[in-house]
Homo-oligomer: A and B are copies of this chain.
Amino acid sequence: MSNVTHVRHQEHYSVGQVGPMEDWDAKLFVGRELGFTGMEVSLNRLPPGQEVPFLHQHKLHEEMYLFIGGQGQFQVDGEVFDVHPGTIVRVMPEGRRAWRNNSDSELWCIVIQANLDSLTGQDGVRLGEALTWQ
């Protein structure tokens, strides 16, 4: 599955399907299809022996890498460390980063970008109305 399917836009939400992670393509950005304006989201699946073939930085965005399957390595500013399911990396804009799959199985990673220092603090408001499931 190479795309976001079954996209549906409503007044206060959008929903789409990318399929189970076993079906993900190499890199799928979902922000545009679903209308995100505060974060960029990509779903990543790196086959055995492959690497992101370049280092990159950001201008203003911090980036989160959440690894949910497989084994690999990450590097920032030339420092290399192992990643595996449940490894979370936060990278500042200046960090010179890349990652690779040096194992013999697939490697999955969810990557989110957001503007550094843009969070406004505690933001959720719990509602008192009854919750029903029709």
- Interface, chain A (partner B; CB < 8 A): 1, 4, 10-21, 23, 30-31, 34-41, 51, 53-62, 64, 66, 68, 73-77, 79-81, 85-98, 100, 102, 110, 112-120, 123-127, 129, 131, 133-134
Contacts and interface: CB of A to CB of B under 8 A. Distances in A.
Given A61-B123, A115-B120, A119-B40, A133 B75 contact: yes
A55 to B, nearest CB: 4
Given A37-B116, A38-B115, A129 B55 contact: yes
A14 to B, nearest CB: 5
A114 to B, nearest CB: 3
A22 to B, nearest CB: 9
This protein's copies in its complex: 2
Contact of A64 (B36, B54, B88, B100): B36
B118 A17 contact: no
Contacts of A117: 37-38
A77 B131 CA distance: 11
Contact of A131 (B61, B98, B129): B98
A56 B127 CA distance: 5
